[in-house]
Amino acid sequence: MIEAVIFDMDGVIIDTESFSESVELPFLKSRALEWKEGYENQIRGSSPENVYNFLKTHGGVKAELREFLTQYWLLSEDVYNNQVSLTNGFHETVQNLRANNLKIALASSTPRKFVDIVVNRFSLSPYFEVIMSGDNILHPKPHPEIYLVTMQKMGITAPNAVAVEDSYNGFLSAKRACLKGIGLKTNYNKSHLYLSDTTISDLRELTLDKLLTL
């Protein structure tokens, strides 16, 4: 029986497609010594540290790690403060889940500073039993640590929880934690959700009836 739903943030709770395409991808291409089509799919859902390491082992990077991260997070701060929007149907979905006595958590590898910006901008704090960020863990997704710690804090076990993700690396993290997964389809990720147990095209499809089919 599902008792809890754990949401990823970027691409699930907030719509970051425009950021990925108009800001993040041009930045990464400008810093990579070599860029091949398809790299964006391999790094989607990864932490900036893991993205840097990927680029470093696939041709090299035009900056040291500290400089790369500083530039990346400067771009991100403006995006989180002013550009991202809440995914359609999030409030309605979470209110319905909570009305059915389901626990709700947020588990994002993004630094706490930016998680807090999103939570405060969209008044999300009352919804969550637990909020986990990259600052709370040693190993970002696709490592399972963030999901394992989130479940521990919620007092639940993997058979009774489901993760909502939008990327291969996010699902790899969830599956390594033995969680069932629901994939939120976007224009960019439809071929990368094969680790999910089921998919939805709109958060409002995430109902108790849907969870009972898992």
Q: Is the pLDDT of residue 37 over 90?
A: no
Q: Write the class of the CATH domain 4-15+85-212.
A: alpha beta
Does the pTM surpass 0.75? The reply is: yes
Domain coordinates of the chain in residue numbers? 4-15+85-212, 17-83
Are the beta carbons of 45 and 166 closer than 8 angstroms? yes
**pLDDT-based confidence at 106, cuts 50/70/90?**
very high
Q: Is the dihedral of CA 78, 21, 110, 39 positive or negative?
A: negative
Q: Tell me, what's the pLDDT at 136? A: 95
DSSP annotation of 79 reads: I
pLDDT at position 103 is: 98
Residue 147 has pLDDT above 90, yes or no: yes
pLDDT at 20: 76
Strands (DSSP E) found in the chain:
4-7, 14-15, 85-86, 103-107, 130-132, 161-165, 180-184, 198-200
Q: Which residue has the higher pLDDT, 21 or 143?
A: 143
- 168 contacts 154 by C-beta, under 8 angstroms: no
Other C-beta atoms within 10 Å of 88: how many? 12
Q: Which residues contact 120 (CB under 8 A, 6 or more apart)?
A: none
C-alpha to C-alpha distance for 105 and 161, rounded to whole angstroms: 10
Q: Considering the chain, what is the average pLDDT of its residues?
A: 93
Residue closest to 145 by CA, chosen among 156, 154, 134: 134
pLDDT at position 188 over 80? no
pLDDT at 19 over 80: no
